[in-house]
């Protein structure tokens, strides 16, 4: 199913807040992600933080399609910009247009507009570090995180300052089209991937990707597509178009870990995702589905990668 994403812009929009995430999403769409992108706002033409203009904005839709995503983009001078009629129009629209299955998201100071509309009441959220106090004042019942790249609170996603909107966009791409395509977009953007909603650490699906060696990326793509498969070094070398010995050396040089350790981390990540959707899965079922030889092997690797026993991990994954 295609995910319709509405990027909502108000006058004096901070250009990097808009252009960075929009380009990441556009690249993902062009690579095959099921995304439909719309740039909209209360005005068809606006000025930006750079002094240039943007035109051709769609009007704020009176009705949103099922399971759509509204992404409110930040501004460069919130105190002035969010006191305008245009900003008040967006706040009123946010109160009425989203449906029960609409997801809401913000980049940087866009969280303030979500807060003014009451969309952050009682939720975990974040914003630019200089606006934490403002967000707490706008949404006194919200639990505002001060040290997160972005926060996923189910129906609502909020990102921190400016460039973290790209991290949020990659997260949206991963949810819509999978980790391999998200990694391809990140590589095209030539960026380090700081991935974590309530966790500031790097997502295992995009960890060890901040290099530029194509053969290693081809091997990593293959493992990410099927971490449960019993990949031999020769299998991956054939995919990477290098010898097995050369791949082993390249992999360690450019990622800092071995091929086996990389695959084990992705298998554990897959197990953790499965537990989120079904916390009652047995260790035997998880081991089989994720490519481990036995439940004992699964527990051993889990403890080494996650630092907690599978039962504890199962509880924390809910």
Task: Work out the burial of residue 101: count CB atoms within 10 Å of its CB; fewer than 13 is exposed, 13-18 middle, 19 or more buried.
Answer: exposed
Same domain, 138 and 284: no
Same domain, 174 and 266: no
Question: E strands along the chain, which residues?
Answer: 3-8, 35-41, 46-47, 53-54, 58-59, 69-72, 103-106, 124-125, 143-144, 150-152, 156-159
Domain contains 295: yes
Report the candidate in 272, 280, 283 with the shortest Cα–Cα distance to residue 317: 272
Q: Where residue 28 sits, what CATH number does that domain have?
A: 3.40.50.880
Q: Which residue has the tokens 């990441």?
A: 24
Write the CA distances from 161 to 74, 100, 106, 127, 146, integer angstroms: 9, 28, 10, 6, 11
Same domain, 272 and 167: no
Task: Please give the angle made by the CA atoms of 231, 222 and 287, to the nearest 5 degrees.
Answer: 50
Same domain, 266 and 126: no
Same domain, 163 and 36: yes
Domain contains 286: yes
Same domain, 133 and 276: no
Same domain, 138 and 20: yes
Same domain, 172 and 290: no
Same domain, 295 and 160: no
Sign of the Cα torsion 95, 98, 101, 107 reads negative
Last residue of a domain, one of 162, 181, 200: 181
The two structure tokens encoding residue 243: 């010898």
Residue pLDDT, tens place only, 285-316: 999 999 999 999 999 999 887 655 565 444 44
Domain contains 57: yes
DSSP state, 161?
Answer: S
Residue pLDDT, tens place only, 69-124: 999 999 999 999 999 999 999 999 999 999 999 999 999 999 999 999 999 999 99
Same domain, 160 and 57: yes
Whole-prediction pTM value? 0.71
Based on the structure, what is the number of domains in the chain? 2
Rounded distance, CA 196 to CA 299, Å? Answer: 24
Domain contains 53: yes
Domain contains 303: yes
Same domain, 158 and 287: no
Domain contains 309: yes
Same domain, 280 and 164: no
Residue pLDDT, tens place only, 224-237: 999 999 999 999 99
Q: Report whether 205 contacts 173 (CB < 8 A).
A: no
Rounded distance, CA 175 to CA 299, Å? Answer: 27
Last residue of a domain, one of 155, 181, 207: 181
Give the pLDDT band (50/70/90) at residue 201.
very low
Q: Domain limits at 57?
A: 3-181
Percent of the chain exceeding pLDDT 90 equals: 76
Whole-angstrom Cα Rg for the chain: 21
Q: Among 27-36, 77-86, 168-177, 188-197, which is the least confidently predicted range?
A: 188-197
Q: Where residue 312 sits, what CATH number does that domain have?
A: 1.10.10.60
Domain contains 17: yes
Last residue of a domain, one of 137, 166, 181: 181
Task: Report the pLDDT value the prediction gives residue 169, as an integer from 0 to 100.
Answer: 96
Task: Report the pLDDT value the prediction gives residue 313, as an integer from 0 to 100.
Answer: 44
Domain contains 109: yes
């Amino acid at each position: 199913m295609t995910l319709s994403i509405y990027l909502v812009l108000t006058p004096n929009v901070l250009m990097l807040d808009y252009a960075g995430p929009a380009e990441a999403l556009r690249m993902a769409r062009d690579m095959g992600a099921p995304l439909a992108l719309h740039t909209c706002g209360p005005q068809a033409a606006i000025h930006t933080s750079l002094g240039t203009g943007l035109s051709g904005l769609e009007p704020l839709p009176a009705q949103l399609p099922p399971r759509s995503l509204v992404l409110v983009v930040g501004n460069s001078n919130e105190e002035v910009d969010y006191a305008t009629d245009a900003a008040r129009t967006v706040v009123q629209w946010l109160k009425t247009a989203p449906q029960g299955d609409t997801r809401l998201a913000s980049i940087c100071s866009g969280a303030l507009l979500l807060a003014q509309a009451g969309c952050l009441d009682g939720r975990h959220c974040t914003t630019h570090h200089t606006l934490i106090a403002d967000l707490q004042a706008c949404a006194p019942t919200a639990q505002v995180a001060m040290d997160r790249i972005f926060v996923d609170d189910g129906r609502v996603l909020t990102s921190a300052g400016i460039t973290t909107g790209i991290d949020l966009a990659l997260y949206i791409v991963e949810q819509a089209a999978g980790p391999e395509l998200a990694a391809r977009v990140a590589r095209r953007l030539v960026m380090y991937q700081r991935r974590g909603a309530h966790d500031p650490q790097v997502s295992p699906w995009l960890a060890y990707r901040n290099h530029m060696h194509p053969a290693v990326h081809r091997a990593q793509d293959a493992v990410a597509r099927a971490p449960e498969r019993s990949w031999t070094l020769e299998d991956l070398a054939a995919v990477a178009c290098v010898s097995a010995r050369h791949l082993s050396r390249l992999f360690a040089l450019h990622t800092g870990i071995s091929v086996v350790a990389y695959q084990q981390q992705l298998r554990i990540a897959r197990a953790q995702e499965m537990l989120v959707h079904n916390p009652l899965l047995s260790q035997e079922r998880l081991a089989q589905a994720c490519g481990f030889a036995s439940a004992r092997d699964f527990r051993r690797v889990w403890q080494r990668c996650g630092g907690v026993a599978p039962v504890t991990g199962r509880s924390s994954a809910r």
